[in-house]
Structure 1
Amino acid sequence: MTGTSESTARGAAGLPADGTPGTASAAAELIARSNRLGADPRNTNYAGGNTSAKGTGTDPVTGQPVELLWVKGSGGDLGTLRPANLAVLRLDRMRALVDVYPGVEREDEMVAAFDFCLHGKGGAAPSIDTAMHGLVDAAHVDHLHPDSGIAIATSADGERLTREIFGDTVAWVPWRRPGFQLGLDIAEIKARNPQAIGCILGGHGITAWGDTSDEAEGRSLRIIAEAEAYVAARTAELAARGQHPFGPVVPGREALPEAERRTRAAALAPVIRGLAGRDKPQVGHFTDSGVVLDFVARQNAPSLAELGTSCPDHFLRTKVKPLMVDLPADAPLDDVVARLRELHAAYREDYAGYYERNATPESPAMRGADPAIVLVPGVGMFSFGKDKQTARVAGEFYVNAINVMRGAEAISTYAPIDEAEKFRIEYWSLEEAKLARMPKPKPLATRVALVTGAGSGIGRAIAERLAAEGACVVIADLNLEGAEAVAAELGGPDVAVAVRADVTSEDDVRGLVEATVLAFGGVDLVVNNAGLSISKPLLETTTKDWDLQHDVMARGSFLVAREAARAMIAQDLGGDIVYIASKNSLFAGPNNIAYSATKADQAHQVRLLAAELGGHRIRVNGVNPDGVVRGSGIFAGGWGAQRAATYGVPESELGAYYAQRTLLKREVLPEHVAAAVFVLTGPDLVQTTGLHVPVDSGVAAAFLR
């Protein structure tokens, strides 16, 4: 943020508007400390943990000094924490809540009470951990989720290990769901142990405190480092005896060679995404990191995976446990697919049982029984979420969980919190309220789009519109540099990725679809836009001219549609294929035999594929643009000069010339074509297939008959 917005945000957080140290310097130190801690994944996971600082501010009404608490608000991330992400509360009011606390059975009511403790406009919404920070008698408090700390917290004898590792400098806090009572517990333990620098929270993470920001940070890092060293030493002792925390590698479950692994992952991804999206569509992420491949190859992996994760931040994103394939890495692909379907049915039944065992009449309805994490020996891990970032973070959290399990098994026995406690958090009324506050999804949210020729012109405009409407987009183009520039402008790999592809090549097209499903889990929406044009009279048109245009547009569209349809059918989620054809597919103009014939080929592919793929709920439609001069790669590449010469007008006036020959007398731009693609693939024309939409400002000779 810059300028007015930055100043406003800082003011809302109780920081000096110019950012200089002053009465709120504690908050400025808090931002810097949080960013440092959050930058290192060994300290905490993405969006996990929270930090706070206490200091003096000014009452906006009386002008008198007032004690304040600045604490990371709900939903923020330490590594990217900014003033606007802080909640700011009056300490006197917050501590007064202790006197009206109705007890642990009604502790959730205290979250609403935080709103009455806000200072000024209050900044961000206070999180459930606010009580921990406000009630602990220390100027600076850090609550973090380091893998090494959670390994101790989830060990069967975590309390004993805490004493062994840290002596009396770090206290043990038995598991309690985050909330007001946990804040009271930690405050009491700190008061009883004045020598302590922090505590291990059973099943959860660590908390440290200090009189200064530097002291709190140093203590947090000390606890993490000592925990890491202890886990590393015990792991090394096992290795010296030829042992591993997860047991030996099981023959047949070892990692496949990279090329084979990626090919198999691409074949499985659409199937798995279809299963993971049974209740609601999901975006996917794939990782074949060494941590994952080693885990799924080990003897104890199935039993450990069945125990599930423990830290609330983990299982809220990964669900209580993953689905794990129980076949050898090189099992026939058809056998793996069949087994996945069986395991998925069993997973859904098991999850429904988990819900029924733990739900009360007040519990929210079951949100969905599909897995968020799927583990495949020899191949890797598939993770899922409402968007790419959520899917990627779910995978990262399960890697955290693997690290936690490895550490706990090295120093003790992994013993996560029980399923009843997991259910209380997963179906917490506060979590439900948080989900209800989420913005309404965009129309194309969870959809994965593949656009060819998207590095410039019409294709670029289409990619931009689809991304703006919530889709993940693969930018395919022969010019990789141009495609990468578009992908970066759209937001990078959580929104768009670039792939170089020659659509005339079967291998390139196959690789393009594989890259798409590995990037986002599958493919739902394909736009056949790649094209070129050479304008010549019949007698000057060579077979090379003819073949080139047919290869790129007719053959290329066929290849892309065929390979994408394979993935769509495997997903069993339906889909859309859109051809960017042309007014010339209907209109007979001069000096344009090869291009117009090719566009007629594309137009009929639409009708043929609509008829063939409808049974798979795949809709196939077309767009017939005309006269798209501005921003068009085809026109800039020589086609404009050729057409201008044909019509006897200056090239600079070609767009205006095309507009004047239309019924609406308005120039057609790339974004108009993109709008038609969105309408055809959005939520409103779901019963439409086999249609060609003219985007030509009205060319009567090209009316559909």
Structure 2
Amino acid sequence: MTNPTVTELLERSHRLGADPRNTNYAGGNTSAKGTEPDPVTGEDVELLWVKGSGGDLGTLTEPGLAVLRLDRLRALPGVYPGVEREDEMVAAFDYCLHGRGGAAPSIDTAMHALVDAAHVDHLHPDSGIAIATAADGEALTAEIFDGKVAWVPWRRPGFQLGLDIAAIKAESPEVVGAILGGHGITAWGDTSAEAEERSLWIIRTAAAYLAEHGRPEPFGAVRPGFEPLPDDVRRARAAALAPHLRGLASSDRPQVGHFTDSPEVLEFLASERLAELAALGTSCPDHFLRTKVKPLVVDLPSASSVEDVVARLPELHDAYRADYTAYYERGAAAARARGEEPPAMRGADPAIVLVPGVGMFSYGADKQTARVAGEFYVNAINVMRGAESVSTYAPIDEAEKFRIEYWALEEAKLARRPRPKPLATRIALVTGAASGIGKATATRLAAEGACVVIADLDLAKAQAAAREIGGDRDTDVAIGVQADVTDEDQVQAAVDAAVLAFGGLDLVVNNAGLSISKPLLETTTKDWDLQHDVMAKGSFLVSRAAARVLIDQGLGGDIVYVSSKNSVFAGPNNIAYSATKADQAHQVRLLAAELGEHGVKVNGINPDGVVRGSGIFAGGWGAKRAAVYGVSEDKLGEFYAQRTLLKREVLPEHVANAVFVLCTSDLDHTTGLHVPVDAGVAAAFLR
């Protein structure tokens, strides 16, 4: 049974974490102190439950809590070696764990352990950080909170900060919390409700002060020519630029992207102080760990053509990389002067790219990381607005930013991340993916780490499949879009949706199809045109639209055609279907020859007899093929299996397996290949 103290802590954490005005994703931590029987002695021991490293308040569960013995934590000041060696205290937390200890303790554990209060919150609200990063934040804190909230000058999160806050609580009983310079806020209480109430009071009081006393236009006036473009133009421009930007942002390692054109972003991009404030960078440690110290800013007016922006990007990117490398080298030299050896530079590409008139592109190792990076930069914009409205924005200096970004403790946190899956960072578009082979393929690709766009004629089914595949991570894994592959505009819209959702495109599966089973004399021109429009023309339109993205990105990629055994086998009564599959099969060869110079591999799958789970077979094809072969429809799968060399039925998952293998690094030298997935049909062997 869960300890009531833990239940109360989780409920408080969820309420605080659910509101972005209180804290950013995975930012801050909460704690509670209480008792629980020691499993060895049976005697009650005092414990601290605190959010562990890397967790998120809004979704925190009991396994995400670190559980430590308070008697051991309270003994740590006696062995504290001083601020220059405070990082050593993180290892000491391991000796304070209760039982297995739950999650790994975070660097902020000392703040919660040493403050003499039963409940402690540490949060990163925009309003609080605005005061924390104001040049005269200490004076503002005194004015706004009338002595009830203390000011703590910037100090890296760690043991000394915990001691400093504990001293404030001990020496000033009237104080209910603190503004942490350059960082965030903390508050405490004797009860969970009191701690939460005080946290919210600090956040809301700061926000009310900024709203009442803040001067208008803290970012300056709108810069002529840099106003936001109209909605439809802006989104089209973003889709056209996204592949180019992702290619640059992936120079060091592949990245997934996210696009944001919220009002806060567009206002900032249109302001006359954009370049000045962006150059100052973010301040809160959580912010610049995700966004890097500052963004890449495109310095062209909103009305600049896509071609003009694309032509300007390489120069801006080179300058950004040179600037970041110089920042790293200055920080590394200072670290070595202190006798420390910093971690290697993790990459010099931007995590945030700002394009006036269009919006913000953010990047990360997966969709969630890219999305959160964008959310954090919106936090940073709000912080800059608040600080500039009542004072001057004064983030922590470069040296401190470097010490946080390349902190050995942060490096250790990165090392704890799971090993990336084979298709991590890859973005896939699968047509006809709401059922059958398409859905099985999308499911397999997502399971292997890809972000997936489910394109289908039926939007509701596409979205339902995306929700099923995405699970708890939902749109960070899969989205559903409507696409009639015979319609050029709808195909382009589906590709645009992919690049706006995930930053680009790496892997395309041409699976959409239908089957018309008729003998030659019964096949109408309407049958012929429909069959060819969906599969031959549709595959061409999808491949053409996708190829533009793949070429613009410069990252290579894969196009896979789900063709058929019938592309090489002459069976009865399916002239339109088999001729179309032969068309698709030759498209594979043609595109493999044409796109190879861009690093794009084009391969095909030739399935046969995929009955179970197939939308095509369920839509009437199965009944017609069963009639051709003289078997009942429910026995058609068994019939197909028995005519194969392996005597095995082919399922959608088997086709999905082949798609996956073709797109892995194990086959990165294979293009123009057709892979049979038919359990062995000798008549369809490729010659």
Q: TM-score, normalised by structure 2?
A: 0.98
CA distance in 2, matches of 1:655, 1:212: 65
The alpha carbon displacement at 1:192 in A equals: 2.1
CA distance in 2, matches of 1:532, 1:388: 33
| 1:311 alignment partner in structure 2 | 284
Segment of structure 1 superposing worse, 577-586 or 354-363: 354-363
Q: How is 1:662-673 mapped onto 2 (pairs within 5 angstroms)? A: 662-673=644-655
Q: How is 1:382-531 mapped onto 2 (pairs within 5 angstroms)? A: 382-491=361-470, 492-531=474-513
CA distance in 1, matches of 2:247, 2:562: 27
CA displacement, residues 106-128 of structure 1 (integer Å, 9 cap, x when unaligned): 11111011010011221111100
Counterpart AA for 2:480: A
User: Which one of the candidate residues 601, 618, 624 is aligned to 2:606?
Assistant: 624
Counterpart AA for 1:109: E
CA distance in 2, matches of 1:394, 1:413: 24
| 2:196 alignment partner in structure 1 | 217
Q: In the alignment, does 2:93 pair up with 1:105?
A: no
User: Which one of the candidate residues 653, 659, 675 is aligned to 2:657?
Assistant: 675
The alpha carbon displacement at 1:25 in A equals: 2.8
Counterpart AA for 2:241: L
CA displacement, residues 228-253 of structure 1 (integer Å, 9 cap, x when unaligned): 01110122xx23xxxx1000000111
The alpha carbon displacement at 1:212 in A equals: 1.1
Q: In the alignment, does 2:7 pair up with 1:25?
A: no
The alpha carbon displacement at 1:650 in A equals: 1.0
| 1:117 alignment partner in structure 2 | 96
Q: How is 1:333-412 mapped onto 2 (pairs within 5 angstroms)? A: 333-359=306-332, 360-361=335-336, 362-412=341-391
| 2:262 alignment partner in structure 1 | 289
CA distance in 2, matches of 1:662, 1:611: 32
User: Which one of the candidate residues 484, 506, 520 is aligned to 1:538?
Assistant: 520
The alpha carbon displacement at 1:455 in A equals: 0.7
CA distance in 1, matches of 2:448, 2:512: 22
User: Which one of the candidate residues 542, 560, 566 is aligned to 1:578?
Assistant: 560
CA distance in 1, matches of 2:377, 2:258: 12
Structure 2 unaligned runs (5+)? none
| 1:233 alignment partner in structure 2 | 212
CA distance in 2, matches of 1:341, 1:515: 25
CA displacement, residues 582-605 of structure 1 (integer Å, 9 cap, x when unaligned): 000000111111111100000000
The alpha carbon displacement at 1:27 in A equals: 2.4
| 1:179 alignment partner in structure 2 | 158
| 2:621 alignment partner in structure 1 | 639
User: Which one of the candidate residues 542, 558, 564 is aligned to 1:560?
Assistant: 542
Percent identity of the aligned residues?
A: 78
Instruction: Name the SS of the counterpart of 1:286 in structure 2.
Output: strand
Structure 1 unaligned runs (5+)? 1-16
CA displacement, residues 593-626 of structure 1 (integer Å, 9 cap, x when unaligned): 1111100000000000000000000000000000
Instruction: Name the SS of the counterpart of 1:320 in structure 2.
Output: coil
CA distance in 2, matches of 1:632, 1:81: 40
Q: TM-score, normalised by structure 1?
A: 0.95
CA distance in 2, matches of 1:168, 1:141: 19
| 1:134 alignment partner in structure 2 | 113
Instruction: Name the SS of the counterpart of 2:475 in structure 1.
Output: coil
Q: In the alignment, does 2:180 pair up with 1:201?
A: yes
Counterpart AA for 2:272: Q
| 1:4 alignment partner in structure 2 | none
Counterpart AA for 1:290: P
CA distance in 2, matches of 1:358, 1:403: 28
CA distance in 2, matches of 1:602, 1:566: 19
The alpha carbon displacement at 1:26 in A equals: 2.6
Instruction: Name the SS of the counterpart of 2:665 in structure 1.
Output: coil
| 1:5 alignment partner in structure 2 | none
Counterpart AA for 1:154: T
| 1:267 alignment partner in structure 2 | 240
Q: In the alignment, does 2:58 pair up with 1:76?
A: no
* Cα RMSD after superposing both structures: 0.8
Counterpart AA for 1:118: L
Counterpart AA for 2:606: N
Q: How is 1:5-84 mapped onto 2 (pairs within 5 angstroms)? A: 17=1, 19=2, 24-84=3-63
Instruction: Name the SS of the counterpart of 2:303 in structure 1.
Output: coil
| 1:247 alignment partner in structure 2 | 220
| 1:612 alignment partner in structure 2 | 594
| 1:693 alignment partner in structure 2 | 675
CA distance in 2, matches of 1:399, 1:278: 25
